[in-house]
Chains A and B, each alone.
Chain A
Amino acid sequence: MSRIKACFEQLQSRGRKALVPFITAGDPSLDATVPLLHTLAENGADLIEIGIPFSDPMADGPVIQLADERALANGVTTIKVLEMVREFRKTNTTTPIILMGYLNPVEIYGYAQFARDAAAAGVDGMITVDMPPEASKPLNDEFAKVGIDSIFLIAPTTLPARIEKIAAAARGYLYYVSLKGVTGAANLDVEAVQQKLETIRKITDLPITVGFGIKDAATARAVGAIADGVVVGSALVNLVAQHQQDLTTLKANIAETMRSLRQGLDQV
C-alpha cells in the first residue's frame, strides 16, 4: 500500500482530517528546506507538499511566485529537490511527500528517469499543475511503474464528465481548488466548496483535500469539516518570506502556525 493511501486510511480510522502544508524547495535557502520539512512533520503535518520552483509559475499568486524566484536565485534544481527528499527520508520514513510543480522541468529531466529518481529519493506523489488528464498518460505510466501517485486538481469550473476523467487518472487523493484564482487568493466560499465536494464524492471514493485560500485555524476548521484534508501554502510561504534571514525564528513561526492550524482542524 502506498504511504499516501495508508496515511488517509489511518486518518479516517481515527476520524481525523489531513493537514497538508506546502513549502517551496530551496526557499529561503537550500539548507533550510530539510529542517523546515521536519518542523512541519513535528508540528502536525500529515502529508507535505514540496514545490519544485519554476521560472513561469502561471497558476501561482505573488507569494509563491516570489518564493520560486528566491529559490531559483539560490540555485535550486530538480536534482537538488530530490536530494532534499532523500535527506528528509533518512530520519522520517512515514510522512508522505508530494512534489508539486510544472511540467517543463519534469519533461526535460525525462519522465522515466524522473519517476525512478523521485521514487528512489522517497517521493510518494506528484501534482503536475499544467498537465491535464488528457495528456497525462506517458508520465502517469512511469509513475505507476515506481509506485508514485499522480495527484490531480479539480476546479470549481470542472464539470462532472471531466471529474470522472480526472478521477480515473488520479491516484492517492484529489486536490480540489477552492476558488477561481491563483494560489494565495482570498475569496474562499465554503458553501460553494461543500456543494462541489458532494458532486465529486458521488463520482469517486478518493480522499479529497482542499487548497487555495486556507490561511488560518478558522478557515482550516471550516473546510476541514467538509473535506478529507486541507492544504496550506501561501500562508506558510509568507512566513518564509518574512523571516528569511533567520532560520530559528522562521522555524518557531512555522511551528506555531502549524499547531494553530492543527488545533483548528482537530475541532472538526
Chain B
Amino acid sequence: MALNERDFLNTPDELGNFGPYGGRFVSETLMAALDDLEAIYNKLSKDPEFQAAFDKDLAHYVGRPSPLYHAERWSKQLGGAQIYLKREDLNHTGAHKVNNTIGQALLAKYTGKRRVIAETGAGQHGVATATVAARLGLECEVFMGWDDIQRQSLNVYRMKLLGAKVTPVHSGTKTLKDAMNEALRDWVTNVDHTFYIIGTVAGPHPYPMLVRDFQCVIGREARQQCLNQTGKLPDALVACVGGGSNAIGLFHPMLADASVKMYGVEAGGLGVATGHHAAPLNAGRPGVLHGNRTYLMEDADGQIIPTHSVSAGLDYPGVGPEHSWLKDCGRVNYVAINDDEALAAFRKLTLVEGIMPALESSHAVAYAEKLAPTMAKDQIIIVNLSGRGDKDIHTVAKLDGITLG
C-alpha cells in the first residue's frame, strides 16, 4: 500500500476507526459510559486549563522531560548508528505508563467518580494507577492474572503499599488478557461510580485515542531533544510493542517525518515459528477482542490462543488498533525479538551503560543491536527505554538458578 500521510495522521475517525481497525465492540451496558468518556475527553482535550494541569503534573510529579541519552559506549561497540535512549525508565514509578495514568486520573477527577480500576500485566500500569489513585484519594482495584502475580511479586506488593486492592484473575490463561476481561466485567457492574483506566492503546473507542494522546509527550520531547542535541531528526525509532502505548507515544509525533523509519518490536517468545510467542502483527490476523478490531493471536475457530513471552507486559494476544493500521499502511515495520535475545540485551545494556532496562524494553534494545551495525556512524536511532528493570530481577535471577530472599 502506498504511503499516504492523510491515512494515518487524522485518526481515528469519529467512530474510533483506524482504517478498518479500532471501533467500539462492547456489550450494550458500557456504551453510555464510553459515549460520556468520549464527550468529556473531546471537551477537555481542547481545554487549555486541562492541558496546563496535565503538563504541570508531568513536569513536577512525573519528572518530565525525561532525558534523551546518547549511549556512546554501546554505540561504539556496535560500530554503526549512534543510539540514543529515551529514558522513560526515569519517570516516577519507573516506566512510561504514568504519563497515561496522570491524564486519565485527571479525567476521572473531572467525572467525579470515586473509584478507579485497571488491568495490569507486568504490574507497571497497576503501579502507575495505584500511584495516581493514592495521590487523588481514589479507591483503586487492580486486576492481575494469577500467573503474572507469581512472576511480578515486587510490583504486587508495591500496589498494596500504595493502598490498592490487587485482585487475582484465575480464568482463561491467567495473564493480561484475562485481567482485562475481569476489569471490563467489573466496570459493567460498577459503571456508575467507577472509572476504568486502561493501560494501553487498545480497548473500545475512545481509549486507543486518548491513551495515545497522553503518551505522545514521549515523541514530542524526543523529536525536539534530538534536534537540539544533534541538529537533525533521528533516522530510526525503535520501541517494544505489547498493546503498544510506549511505541505509539514515540512514533506518532514523527509519523509525518517521512525520513524517520520506525520499528515496533513484538515479543517473539521461543521464536515466531514455534507458535509460542506474543507477536500478533508478525503472525496473527485481524479479529475482534476487548472492544476493538485489530490483529490477534487466534485459532482457526476465532478462539484467542495462549501467548508466551518472558516479559509479562508484552504477553498479550492483541495489539492497539492504530498499530494494525500503521502496519497495513507500511509506515511502521513490525519485527520480533525472542526471549533469549531480550535477556541478552538486558544484561548487555546493564553492563555496558549501567542502565538496567525492563524485559519489555529489552526487546527494543535487542532489535537496536541488530539494526545499528547496518547503519552509518552518523545516523541516529532512538530507542524507547520504556521502563526500568528492577521489577525483573527476580525473573532473571530465577533463570540464572539463583533464589533471592
A83 to chain B, nearest CB (A): 13
- A-side interface residues, number (CB < 8 Å): 43
CB closest chain-B residue, reference A187: B189
Residues 166-187 of A contacting B (Cβ, < 8 Å): 166, 177, 180-182, 185
Q: Which of A62, A78, A108, A177 interacts with B29 by CB under 8 Å?
A: A177
What are the residues of chain B within 8 A of A92 when measuring CB–CB?
A: none
Q: Is the CB of B23 within 8 A of A104?
A: no
Q: Is the CB of B28 within 8 A of A132?
A: yes
CB closest chain-B residue, reference A159: B32
Q: Does B315 contact A (CB under 8 A)?
A: no
Task: Give complex CA distance A58, B185 in Å.
Answer: 6
Q: Does A106 contact B (CB under 8 A)?
A: yes
CB closest chain-A residue, reference B300: A108
Among A147-155, A215-223, A259-267, the stretch in contact with B: A147-155
Given contacts A159-B32, A180-B192, whether A132 and B302 have CB atoms under 8 Å apart is no
What are the residues of chain A within 8 A of B188 when measuring CB–CB?
A: 59, 180-182
Q: Is the CB of B28 within 8 A of A177?
A: yes
B304 to chain A, nearest CB (A): 4
Q: Is the CB of B287 within 8 A of A107?
A: yes
Q: Is the CB of A180 within 8 A of B32?
A: no
CB closest chain-A residue, reference B305: A55
Q: Which of A106, A109, A134 is the most central at the interface, judged by chain B CB atoms within 10 Å of its CB? A: A134
Q: Is the CB of B26 within 8 A of A132?
A: yes
Q: Which of B28, B190, B302 is the most central at the interface, judged by chain A CB atoms within 10 Å of its CB? A: B28
Q: Is the CB of B301 within 8 A of A105?
A: yes
Residues 48-77 of A contacting B (Cβ, < 8 Å): 54-62, 65, 69, 72, 77
Q: Is the CB of A108 within 8 A of B301?
A: yes
Task: Give complex CA distance A196, B304 in Å.
Answer: 36
Q: Is the CB of A131 within 8 A of B31?
A: no
Residues 289-348 of B contacting A (Cβ, < 8 Å): 289-291, 296, 298, 300-305
A49 to chain B, nearest CB (A): 15
Q: Does B288 contact A (CB under 8 A)?
A: yes
Q: Is the CB of B189 within 8 A of A135?
A: no
Given contacts A107-B288, A181-B188, whether A157 and B302 have CB atoms under 8 Å apart is no
Q: Is the CB of A107 within 8 A of B302?
A: yes
A65 to chain B, nearest CB (A): 5
CB closest chain-B residue, reference A105: B302
Task: Give complex CA distance A157, B184 in Å.
Answer: 15
Q: Which of B32, B178, B298, B301 is the most central at the interface, judged by chain A CB atoms within 10 Å of its CB? A: B301
Q: Does B52 contact A (CB under 8 A)?
A: no
Q: Is the CB of A134 within 8 A of B15?
A: yes
Task: Give complex CA distance A56, B287 in Å.
Answer: 13
Q: Is the CB of A158 within 8 A of B26?
A: no
Task: Give complex CA distance A254, B380 in Å.
Answer: 68
Q: Is the CB of B29 within 8 A of A131?
A: no
Q: Is the CB of A130 within 8 A of B26?
A: yes
B321 to chain A, nearest CB (A): 13
Q: Is the CB of B25 within 8 A of A155?
A: no
Residues 171-218 of B contacting A (Cβ, < 8 Å): 171-172, 177-178, 180-181, 184-185, 188-192
Task: Give complex CA distance A134, B178 in Å.
Answer: 26
Q: Is the CB of A155 within 8 A of B28?
A: yes
Q: Is the CB of A153 within 8 A of B302?
A: no
Q: Does B97 contact A (CB under 8 A)?
A: no
Task: Give complex CA distance A135, B192 in Å.
Answer: 25
Q: Does A156 contact B (CB under 8 A)?
A: yes
What are the residues of chain B within 8 A of A181 when measuring CB–CB?
A: 29, 188-189
Q: Does B24 contact A (CB under 8 A)?
A: yes
B247 to chain A, nearest CB (A): 23
Q: Which of A62, A107, A155, A166 interacts with B27 by CB under 8 Å?
A: A155
Q: Which of A54, A58, A65, A108 interacts with B184 by CB under 8 Å?
A: A58
Given contacts A65-B171, A135-B24, whether A156 and B185 have CB atoms under 8 Å apart is no
Task: Give complex CA distance A69, B306 in Å.
Answer: 13
CB closest chain-B residue, reference A176: B28
Q: Is the CB of A59 within 8 A of B31?
A: no
What are the residues of chain A within 8 A of B28 when measuring CB–CB?
A: 132, 152-155, 157-158, 166, 177
Q: Is the CB of B27 within 8 A of A105?
A: no
A188 to chain B, nearest CB (A): 13
What are the residues of chain B within 8 A of A102 when measuring CB–CB?
A: 288
Q: Does A129 contact B (CB under 8 A)?
A: yes
Q: Does B33 contact A (CB under 8 A)?
A: yes
Q: Does A239 contact B (CB under 8 A)?
A: no
Q: Which of A58, A77, A153 interacts with B301 by CB under 8 Å?
A: A77
Q: Is the CB of A104 within 8 A of B26?
A: no
Task: Give complex CA distance A61, B189 in Å.
Answer: 10
Q: Which of A57, A62, A108 is the most central at the interface, judged by chain B CB atoms within 10 Å of its CB? A: A108
CB closest chain-B residue, reference A129: B27
What are the residues of chain B within 8 A of A61 when measuring CB–CB?
A: 185
Q: Does A103 contact B (CB under 8 A)?
A: yes
CB closest chain-A residue, reference B15: A134
What are the residues of chain B within 8 A of A108 when measuring CB–CB?
A: 285, 287, 298, 300-302
B20 to chain A, nearest CB (A): 11
A and B contact pairs by CB, cutoff 8 A, 14 listed: A56-B181, A56-B304, A102-B288, A105-B303, A106-B302, A107-B288, A108-B302, A129-B27, A130-B291, A135-B23, A157-B32, A158-B31, A162-B31, A180-B192
4 nearest A-B residue pairs (beta carbon): A105-B302, A108-B302, A155-B29, A157-B32
Beyond A109-B302, A155-B28, A157-B29, 20 extra complex contacts between A and B, CB < 8 Å: A55-B303, A55-B304, A56-B172, A58-B185, A72-B303, A78-B301, A78-B302, A103-B288, A104-B288, A104-B289, A104-B302, A107-B288, A108-B302, A153-B28, A157-B191, A158-B28, A158-B32, A166-B28, A180-B29, A181-B188
